């Protein structure tokens, strides 16, 4: 009996304390405290099974993230209808609208003051603790409906209206676009997450298809050697030259290369000069020695003075720092696989290709000499078969088709076998097949008989039977600047490079036109390879910095998507995963001779025309020369590309 009396006394005291707390809570809300109702025994049953551990956990999460508005919306469907709250006394404070993240039954369990001694169970004590926390939390939040006044604007901003967008290129929205700027937790309601995922899926599917295989832009770029395309090309090239001549830096001097020294931020009125190349080489040495401490410190200094939007040396340093960081972390292979799996629309790459044609003569001279050599050598042949190893997008062949249609006596039948490496994904031959369909449209336009065969295999696995050789055709094999992607003896005893050259020898073509990237960064030793790669890409970045304005997005695409990806592979990958393995033209010459080829010199007339084009139409620092049958092209004395012609011995 004594224990029973003590229990009743404790319950009565708890009831009085609860009433006092409730009165203070109503004072905060600015409402009159109602008189105590009669005890309601059914209230205990109404609360059974409602306030469980999950509710207390959610409440604690809310206190830690009460500013996470979008997280509240994701959990509480009652916010869809703020006027539907059952408790009139709680509607005066906006915190009541965001606190109840469990269910509607939770709302009913706190509709009125719980003051009955018969209802003072563990659930009612939890309610009292909840109310007291509400009272404390309400002191830090705005009154009225200010918190939810602009809920639609804050959480679900309308997408800005934009002009017409190419339907083939769908850009995924950033994950946080639909969330509040203050949100760092869950960002979407359940309905919106489902809709957002459906939208993402539909966009990903749309990336893989181009709207048309050919457009007016394609014609202007790919047929730039005659007609309307030539006018546009000349205007683009002159515009680049005018921008270069008129571009000045703030001190009034013309924009020139700074010799590999990036400029940092001003300190005390003086410009800090940093030798980024030296820092990069020192960092590479630290990475090779597995000295993480010094490597991270040097990377920090390089990051401080490099930028993807700065001058040429700063952009180069930024890309090489990415490669060093990936090698240090051991993630180079994963990053590179992600880059090669990334889809780029053909139209974007076409624009970058057009900029490269207008800015430098490397690719234009290659296409000019290749097409001229094929047409003049096969001028009496009714059928021409071109086997292109590394055809990629086939941007160089529409001109051949166009000019072949002008041949006296009618055009020959052109058969092109496009060979390239299989692409990752479910459609490994998609790109090379699309190239064939695009070339077929040009053949139809110029009434040229045309046939195309697509092969997506590793080159060393291709058999002679796959190529369907017809000895009545004039046969030409081309490999333009893609032989660097073949593995060499350092990886495989039976070198894929030698296997490829032996296959070309078995094909026994009338001509073998071979273009190579002249580089010495195929060494097995990392620091040596890094230094040679730094010299090679320094020339390319310096060339773009000298000719192309920094704000051109096509330039950024070339630097990041092409040169940056190649540099990352050279720096951060090893073994079979390192596919960027260029050799010098003298090394390739030795390989070709061992495979049983002899040099076939280019026409003196076409070489003279090529040299004249470079000297009159492009920047004075471009180099074009001949050496032992190789046509060499470079920038400021460094040979970057080389082109040669061969015949089977």
Domains and CATH numbers, the chain: 2-138 (no CATH), 222-359+528-577 (no CATH), 361-519+582-648 (3.40.50.150)
Binned at pLDDT 50, 70 and 90, residue 244 comes out as: low
Is residue 453 classed exposed, middle or buried when 0-12, 13-18 and 19+ CB atoms within 10 A define those classes? middle
- For the cut 70, the answer to whether the pLDDT of residue 230 exceeds it is yes
User: Quick one: average pLDDT of 24-30?
Assistant: 64
Question: Hey, is 595 helix, strand or coil?
Answer: coil
Least confident interval from 7-16, 355-364, 513-522: 7-16
Maximum mean pLDDT: which of 12-16, 93-97, 464-468: 464-468
In the 3-class helix/strand/coil scheme, how is 463-494 assigned residue by residue?
CHHHHCCCCCCEEEEEEECCHHHCCCCCCCCC
Closest CA to 585 of 499, 513, 519, 490: 519
For residues 43 and 105, give the distance between their C-alpha atoms in angstroms, rounded to a whole number: 12
- Assess contact for 450 and 407: CB atoms under 8 A: no
User: Quick one: average pLDDT of 564-580?
Assistant: 94
Four-residue CA torsion sign, 175, 152, 154, 151: negative
Binned at pLDDT 50, 70 and 90, residue 216 comes out as: confident
Maximum mean pLDDT: which of 19-33, 121-135, 195-209, 518-532: 518-532
Q: Which residues contact 582 (CB under 8 A, 6 or more apart)?
A: 484, 516, 517, 518, 519, 520, 521, 522, 536
Q: Which residues contact 281 (CB under 8 A, 6 or more apart)?
A: 527, 530, 531, 534
Least confident interval from 138-142, 273-277, 317-321, 364-368: 138-142
Q: What percent of the chain has pLDDT over 90?
A: 51
Provide the angle, in degrees to the nearest 10, between the axes of the packed helices 346-359 and 526-547. Answer: 80
- For the cut 80, the answer to whether the pLDDT of residue 557 exceeds it is yes
For residues 542 and 313, give the distance between their C-alpha atoms in angstroms, rounded to a whole number: 7
- For the cut 60, the answer to whether the pLDDT of residue 93 exceeds it is no
- Assess contact for 497 and 240: CB atoms under 8 A: no
- Assess contact for 450 and 401: CB atoms under 8 A: yes
Please give the model's pTM, rounded to 2 decimal places.
0.66
CA angle (263 as vertex; 262, 269 as ends), nearest 5: 165
Q: Which residues contact 162 (CB under 8 A, 6 or more apart)?
A: none
What does the radius of gyration of the chain's CA atoms come to, in whole angstroms?
Answer: 36
User: Quick one: average pLDDT of 278-288?
Assistant: 96
CA angle (21 as vertex; 16, 26 as ends), nearest 5: 125
- What is the token pair recorded at 367? 């296409």
C-alpha distance across the termini of the chain, in Å: 117
| Per-residue model confidence (pLDDT) at position 312 | 94
Pairing, β 474-480 against β 511-517 = parallel
For residues 544 and 355, give the distance between their C-alpha atoms in angstroms, rounded to a whole number: 10
452: how many CB neighbours lie within 10 A of its CB?
Answer: 21
Q: What are the CA-CA distances from residue 286 to residues 292, 325, 327 (Å)? A: 7, 12, 12
For residues 357 and 201, give the distance between their C-alpha atoms in angstroms, rounded to a whole number: 36
Binned at pLDDT 50, 70 and 90, residue 51 comes out as: very low
pLDDT tens-digit series, residues 448-480:
999 999 999 999 999 999 999 998 999 999 999
| Per-residue model confidence (pLDDT) at position 289 | 95
- Assess contact for 185 and 65: CB atoms under 8 A: yes
């Amino acid at each position: 009996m004594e224990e029973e009396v003590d229990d009743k006394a404790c319950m009565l005291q708890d009831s009085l304390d609860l009433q006092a707390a409730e009165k203070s809570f109503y004072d905060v809300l600015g409402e009159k405290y109602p008189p105590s109702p009669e005890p309601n025994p059914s209230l205990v049953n109404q609360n059974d099974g409602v306030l469980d551990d999950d509710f207390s956990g959610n409440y604690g999460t809310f206190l830690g993230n009460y500013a996470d508005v979008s997280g509240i919306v994701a959990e509480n469907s009652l916010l869809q209808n703020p006027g539907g709250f059952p408790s009139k006394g709680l509607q005066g404070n906006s915190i009541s609208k965001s606190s109840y993240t469990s269910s509607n039954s939770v709302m009913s369990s706190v509709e009125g003051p719980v003051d009955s001694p018969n209802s003072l169970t563990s659930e009612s004590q939890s309610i009292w603790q909840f109310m007291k926390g509400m009272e404390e939390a309400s002191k830090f939040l705005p009154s009225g409906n200010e918190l939810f006044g602009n809920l639609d604007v804050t959480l679900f901003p309308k997408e800005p209206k934009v002009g017409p967008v190419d339907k083939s290129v769908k850009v995924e929205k950033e994950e946080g676009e639909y969330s509040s700027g203050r949100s760092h937790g869950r960002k979407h309601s359940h309905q919106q997450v489902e809709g957002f995922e459906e939208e993402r899926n539909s966009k990903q599917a749309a990336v893989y298809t181009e709207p048309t295989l050919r457009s007016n832009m394609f014609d202007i770029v790919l047929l730039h050697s005659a007609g309307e395309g030539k006018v546009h090309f000349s205007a683009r090239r002159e515009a680049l030259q005018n921008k270069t001549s008129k571009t000045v830096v703030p001190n009034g001097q013309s924009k020139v290369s700074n010799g590999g020294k990036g400029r940092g931020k001003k300190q005390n009125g003086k410009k800090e000069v940093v030798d980024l190349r030296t820092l990069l080489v020192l960092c590479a040495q630290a990475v090779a020695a597995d000295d993480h401490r010094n490597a991270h410190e040097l990377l920090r200094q390089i990051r401080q003075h490099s930028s993807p939007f700065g001058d040429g040396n700063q952009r180069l340093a930024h890309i090489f720092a990415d490669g060093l960081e990936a090698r240090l972390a051991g993630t180079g292979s994963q990053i590179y696989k992600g880059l090669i799996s990334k889809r780029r629309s053909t139209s974007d790459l076409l624009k970058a290709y057009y900029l490269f044609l207008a800015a430098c003569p490397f690719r234009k001279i290659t296409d000019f000499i290749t097409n001229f050599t094929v047409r003049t050598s096969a001028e009496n042949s009714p059928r021409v078969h071109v086997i292109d190893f590394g055809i990629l997008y086939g941007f160089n062949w529409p001109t051949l088709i166009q000019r072949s249609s002008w041949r006296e006596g009618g055009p020959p039948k052109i058969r092109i076998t496009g060979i390239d490496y299989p692409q990752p994904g479910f459609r490994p031959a998609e790109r090379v097949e699309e190239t064939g369909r695009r070339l077929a449209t040009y053949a139809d336009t110029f009434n040229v008989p045309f046939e195309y065969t697509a092969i997506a295999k590793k080159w060393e696995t291709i058999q002679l039977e796959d190529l369907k050789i017809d000895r009545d055709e004039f046969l030409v094999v081309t490999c333009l600047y893609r032989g660097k992607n073949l593995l060499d003896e350092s990886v495989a005893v039976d070198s894929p490079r030698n296997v490829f050259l032996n296959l070309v020898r078995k094909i026994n073509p009338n001509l073998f036109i071979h273009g190579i990237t002249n580089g010495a960064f195929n060494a097995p030793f990392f620091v040596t390879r890094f230094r040679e790669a730094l010299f090679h890409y320094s020339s390319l970045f310096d060339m773009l910095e000298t000719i192309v304005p920094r704000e051109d997005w096509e330039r950024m695409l070339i630097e990041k998507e092409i040169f940056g990806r190649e540099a990352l592979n050279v720096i951060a990958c090893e073994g079979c995963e390192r596919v960027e393995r260029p050799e010098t033209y003298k090394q390739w010459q030795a390989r070709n001779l061992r495979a049983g080829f002899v040099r076939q010199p280019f026409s003196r007339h076409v070489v003279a025309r090529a040299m004249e084009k470079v000297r009159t139409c492009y920047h004075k620092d471009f180099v074009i020369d001949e050496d032992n049958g190789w046509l060499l092209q470079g920038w400021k004395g460094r040979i970057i590309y080389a082109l040669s012609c061969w015949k089977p011995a």
